[in-house]
């Protein structure tokens, strides 16, 4: 175990940490440079050397680590992680018992008191994501805790801090028996092919579960659907199963074609009656306008940042313009499902982008419903940034 480092919190941030804010950031700490070692245990004190909380040092985006406990006498040891994981697993008991869903999040970082770490469940396979070298220092304790609490086919891991890309290799495997990929998992009765051995993106983003279900159950029937930034076509599959007349999936990545065909076939759907297009979404919009194509339901779920040959897309800067393109090819009374996972702006700001886009298009709209993270993506009120997902169903009025 690394040495413990004492950090002094600046006066104006003391209350923030006392009331449960979990993320360490540079401005809040007087002597952050003392804690240069990833994985160091931290003791946060105020100006009078009074204990506030303990945590660990680990660089992750703009953060420097996470609070683990506000109890001075609680050691950060095997028992600590065992308790945290047990609590997290118990919180997901309804998912473990679900007959039609076997893919869900078991540990959601700071939402479960373990910032920097997520664990997902895929039909008996566990996937651990380590988001900093700091949390990776605790791997033995965490993996042991997991092994003690659950039975599993295998445990895999992704070192998300490893920018060299090494984590794409086979050593993603941790324990159990190596899987043969893809494995097929189920979400609300729908099949997904999942690859735990191919890098960070495993085939499905579990946080959109409720949105997919809603599209299938309520919005897809009889509709001509456009799914942009479609990845493996998860929204398209749900729309087709919900009775969409046709789906069109558009994604820039070459892999998306075969992966989308795979998802359709896994659900007994023939891809020939669907369109799967490998292209830059921005080019596709131009094409659609030129050909006067319009859609009844458009799904818009871009990454927070993306770099293509021609441009750099940033959700914060460009979402409004993206929406304007979508508005121009959506039928009157049609529905736009606008989604973003960008944590640098909140729902209020997101709605202001939507409002501006419609105003500048001289069109009226109605906000029909909204979604954020599902229950298994547990968040805490002290860290609203953790509730990154924002999805709004918008009706374009005539
Ligand atoms: N909506 C998807 C997830 C999107 S992930 C789902 O629910 O599963 C983001 C996707 O956007 C990636 O597959 C990436 O290849 C794609 N992408 C990024 N920039 C793009 C662009 N300019 N045009 C089309 N696709 C793009």
The closest-lying atom of ligand 1 relative to the alpha carbon of residue 212 is: 7
336 Cα: distance to centroid of ligand 1 (angstroms): 17
pLDDT of residue 311: 80
Give the residues surrounding ligand 1 with Cβ less than 6 Å away: 205, 208, 229-232, 234-235, 250-253, 256, 280-282, 301, 303, 306, 308
Q: Which residues, in sequence order, are bridge partners of residue 55?
A: 42, 67
Q: Domain check: are 181 and 254 in the same one?
A: no
Kindly list the strands in the beta sheet with 246-251, ordered across the sheet, starting from the edge strand earlier in the chain: 275-278, 246-251, 224-228, 295-300, 330-340, 390-396, 365-371
Q: What's the CA gap between 306 and 56, in Å, rounded?
A: 31
DSSP state of 374: -
Q: Which of 142, 287, 181 is CA-nearest to residue 228?
A: 287
208 Cα: distance to centroid of ligand 1 (angstroms): 14
Q: Domain check: are 53 and 97 in the same one?
A: no
Q: Domain check: are 63 and 114 in the same one?
A: no
Q: Domain check: are 55 and 137 in the same one?
A: no
Q: What residue's CA is closest to ligand 1, atom 19?
A: 306
Residue 192 phi/psi, 5° resolution? -135, 140
Q: What residue's CA is closest to ligand 1, atom 9?
A: 303
pLDDT of residue 239: 98
Asked if 263 and 193 count as a contact pair (C-beta separation under 8 A), the reply is yes
Q: Which residues, in sequence order, are bridge partners of residue 5?
A: 42
Q: What's the CA gap between 332 and 362, in Å, rounded?
A: 13
Length of the chain: 398
pLDDT in tens, the chain (398 residues): 567 899 999 999 999 999 999 999 999 999 887 667 999 999 999 999 999 999 999 999 989 999 999 999 999 999 999 999 999 999 999 999 999 999 999 999 999 999 999 999 999 999 999 999 999 999 999 999 999 999 999 999 999 997 665 545 556 999 999 999 999 999 999 999 999 998 899 999 999 999 999 999 999 999 999 999 999 999 999 999 999 999 999 999 999 999 999 999 999 999 999 999 999 999 999 999 999 999 999 999 999 998 877 788 999 999 999 999 999 999 999 999 999 999 999 999 999 999 999 999 999 999 999 999 999 999 999 999 999 999 999 999 99
The pair of structure tokens assigned to 371 is: 């979604």
Calculate Rg over the CA atoms of the chain: 22
C-alpha to C-alpha distances, 108 to 70, 104, 390, 398, nearest whole angstrom: 19, 10, 17, 42
| Probe residue for ligand 1, chosen from 251, 263, 284, 309 as the CB with the greatest number of ligand atoms within 8 Å | 251
Question: 174: domain range?
Answer: 78-189
CATH code for the domain in which residue 266 is found: 3.40.50.150
Asked if 50 and 57 count as a contact pair (C-beta separation under 8 A), the reply is no
Q: Domain check: are 91 and 52 in the same one?
A: no
Q: 198 in a domain, yes or no? A: no
Q: What residue's CA is closest to ligand 1, atom 3?
A: 231
Residue 250 phi/psi, 5° resolution? -125, 125
The model's pTM: 0.96
Kindly list the strands in the beta sheet with 63-69, ordered across the sheet, starting from the edge strand earlier in the chain: 4-8, 41-45, 51-60, 63-69, 23-24
372 Cα: distance to centroid of ligand 1 (angstroms): 19
The closest-lying atom of ligand 1 relative to the alpha carbon of residue 311 is: 22
Q: 328 in a domain, yes or no? A: yes
Q: Which of 60, 5, 14 is CA-nearest to residue 37?
A: 5
The closest-lying atom of ligand 1 relative to the alpha carbon of residue 208 is: 7
Domain boundary among 189, 216, 242: 189
Q: What's the CA gap between 371 and 393, in Å, rounded?
A: 9
CATH code for the domain in which residue 65 is found: 2.30.130.10
Q: What residue's CA is closest to ligand 1, atom 13?
A: 231
Q: 238 in a domain, yes or no? A: yes
């Amino acid at each position: 175990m690394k040495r413990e480092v004492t950090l002094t919190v600046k006066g104006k941030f003391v209350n923030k940490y006392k009331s449960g804010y979990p993320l360490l950031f540079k401005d809040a700490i007087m002597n952050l440079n003392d804690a240069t070692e990833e994985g160091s245990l931290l003791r946060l004190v105020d100006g009078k050397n009074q204990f506030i909380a303990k945590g660990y040092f680990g660089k992750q985006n703009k953060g420097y680590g996470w609070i683990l406990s506000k109890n001075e006498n609680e050691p950060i040891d095997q028992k600590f992680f065992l308790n945290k994981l047990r609590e997290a697993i118990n919180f997901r008991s309804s998912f473990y018992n679900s007959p039609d869903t076997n893919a869900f999040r078991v540990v959601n970082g700071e939402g479960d008191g373990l910032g920097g770490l997520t664990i997902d469940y895929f039909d008996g396979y566990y996937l651990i994501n380590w988001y900093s070298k700091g949390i990776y220092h605790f791997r033995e304790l965490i993996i042991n805790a997991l092994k003690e609490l659950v039975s599993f086919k295998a445990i895999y891991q992704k070192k998300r801090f490893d920018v060299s890309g090494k984590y794409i290799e086979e050593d993603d495997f941790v324990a159990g028996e190596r899987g043969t990929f893809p494995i097929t998992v189920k979400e609300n009765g729908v099949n997904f092919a999942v690859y735990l051995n191919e890098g960070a993106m495993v085939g499905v983003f579990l946080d959109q579960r409720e949105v997919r279900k809603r599209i299938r159950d309520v919005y897809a029937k009889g509709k001509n659907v456009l799914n942009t930034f479609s990845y493996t076509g998860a929204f398209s599959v749900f729309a087709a199963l919900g009775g969409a007349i046709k789906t069109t999936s558009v994604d820039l990545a070459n892999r998306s074609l075969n992966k989308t065909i795979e998802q359709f076939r896994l659900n007994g759907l023939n891809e020939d009656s669907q369109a799967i297009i490998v292209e830059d979404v921005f080019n596709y919009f131009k094409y659609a306008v030129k050909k006067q194509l319009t859609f009844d339901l458009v799904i818009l779920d871009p990454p927070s940042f993306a770099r293509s040959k021609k441009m750099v897309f940033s959700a914060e800067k460009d979402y409004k313009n993206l929406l304007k393109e979508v508005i121009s090819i959506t039928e009157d009374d049609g529905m736009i499902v606008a989604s973003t996972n960008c944590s640098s702006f909140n729902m209020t700001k997101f709605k202001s982008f939507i409002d501006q886009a419609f105003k500048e298009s001289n069109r009226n709209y109605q906000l029909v419903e909204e979604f954020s993270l599902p229950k298994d993506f547990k968040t805490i009120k002290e860290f609203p940034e953790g509730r990154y997902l924002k999805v709004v169903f918008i009706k374009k009025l005539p």
